[in-house]
A and B are shown apart, each in its own frame.
Chain A
Amino acid sequence: MSVLRPQDQLPGLNAATILLVGTDDALLQQLADAMLKEDCASTLKVHLAQSLPLPSNVNRPRIDLIVFVVNLHSKYSLQNVEESLHHVDATFFLGKVGFLATGAGQDNHCSIHRNTVLRLAHTYRSPLFFCDLEVEGFRATMAQRLVRMLQICAGHVPGVSALNLLSLMRSSENPFLEDV
């Protein structure tokens, strides 16, 4: 399948799977390790991909949350994410997609403006997180947030759905971009 759809498969029992998409393999690996260190009632699985579409001949569980990781130091990583977004079905963007921008702390290495990723996240109506994945403390906190978000997206938190979470997070968005 060249396009990822959220309801293409039946969910696994107590399983929650996240897909991290980004060019910075080392950072994705570290984030994955940090997420798996968290205490979680659900069975977590982390899939790492450089880009979409994913290879088609593989058996994989249902993906509950996709996080696109953009490295602000690399235009190539933004380009890669933009191209990968074409391979995600529109229904995924109802709370099951997030953007993560790393590298904002080193301003002189940034070749992508903050507004570019803000606009990207706004276009796809999905939350955007800024987190310097290279710093262990920030990475651990981000991992915690992602695990909670993943549990909600997988439906493991009673009373809260992915769409609920999305509308809750939207109210704190930058108001000036609403007009764009």
Chain B
Amino acid sequence: MDETVAEFIKRTILKIPMTKMMTVLKAWDFLSENQLQTVNFRKRKESLAQDLVLLCEENGVSLNDAALLDIIYTQFHRHQRVWDLFQMAKEPGEDIDLSDMEQFKSSFKKILQRALKNVTVTFRDTEENAVWIRIAWGTQYRKPNQYKPAYVMYYSQTPYAFISFSQLRSNTPLLCQALTIASKHHQIVKMDLRSRYLDSLKAIVFKQYNQNFETHNSATHLQERRLGLDINMDSRIIHENRIEKDRVHRVTQEIFGDYSQPRLEFAQYKLETKFKSDLNGGILAEREEPLRCLVKFSSPHLLEALKSLASAGIADAPLSPLLTCIPSKGMNYFKIKDK
């Protein structure tokens, strides 16, 4: 067996945390139950990895199997990569082509192999009509680098693809082109949405985040909540601004809803507007060119943080629509120009 494949498998196994080791190996389904039982999982990781590699050699593992293991590892650790949203479009007037998934896969692979002699393309289907594609890039003269792959998650009945680029950025146009042609689309556009949390991106794009299962209307719900709060609160504490608090709570609910928000880490606003000032004169006022300024909001969970701003007393309610439109517009990169 090729030494590079053995090394690749060993390095992938070493990346897997011990708590997930069994789950990942079972999902890979390359080593049989019996073989897994012969392995001592309490050993140190180095020697455990070597044992597993020996078993793989017995089974005659190929580069494709190794790439599949890498895909499964990445599926379990998708938040370790940053995902960009791409949207494809057909020619206006073209009919929706119910393209075959197998046809897409072979077409995609052929396009890449024709352009670069050395490239490893691996597919893994998931439920919901989606496919994970792993691409390891080489050149005309060099074998593919298995340690810097790019990943694509493509939903076949939709024009959407989530791409996590490898560090070898020069292959980006080729990847986009291959994806577009293989899926029988005409063009591909990078949307202004990016995050580590692939599931949240999915929820935003397919509008699945507002699963609100409340059956009674929001007014009675607020009443019930308030009664619940009162019972826990000391009657010696009196909130003077109760009406305002309720208003803020109601406005926040209206805008953000009752459900948990999809997870994003940042929102970035690029301003190209002229500086407006109430004060007359001043260094920045009266300039023809727009002021260039970048504002970036970051948080471990940006939308939940925005949701709690008004009730924490840090901002007025309702919040600026520039902040609240993020899930509905499906963007977290904005360019703001003067009208």
Contacts and interface: CB of A to CB of B under 8 A. Distances in A.
B238 A60 contact: yes
B238 A25 contact: no
A42 to B, nearest CB: 11
A168 B166 CA distance: 68
Nearest to A60: B238
A46 interface: yes
Q: How large is the interface on A (under 10, 10 to 19, 20 to 34, 35 or more residues)?
A: 20 to 34
Nearest to B315: A76
Q: How large is the interface on B (under 10, 10 to 19, 20 to 34, 35 or more residues)?
A: 10 to 19
A44 interface: yes
B314 A49 contact: no
A54 B239 CA distance: 10
A156 interface: no
B237 A25 contact: no
A24 B239 contact: no
A33 interface: yes
Nearest to A61: B238
Given A50-B313, A74-B314, A76-B314, A25 B245 contact: yes
Interface in A20-56: 22-26, 29, 32-33, 36, 43-51, 54-55
Nearest to B238: A47
Given A23-B314, A24-B312, A74-B314, A36 B243 contact: no
Contact of A25 (B234, B236, B243, B311): B311
A36 B312 contact: no
Interface residues of chain A: helix, strand, loop or mixed (majority)? mixed
A25 B240 contact: no
Contact of A36 (B234, B313, B314): B234
A19 B244 CA distance: 17
Contact of B241 (A46, A51, A76): A51
A41 to B, nearest CB: 15
Nearest to B243: A55
B204 to A, nearest CB: 29
B240 A49 contact: yes
Given A25-B312, A45-B238, 7 more contacts: A29-B237, A33-B234, A48-B237, A48-B241, A49-B239, A55-B241, A74-B314
Interface of A: 19, 22-26, 29, 32-33, 36, 43-51, 54-55, 58, 60, 74, 76-77
6 contacts: A25-B311, A26-B312, A33-B234, A36-B236, A36-B237, A46-B237
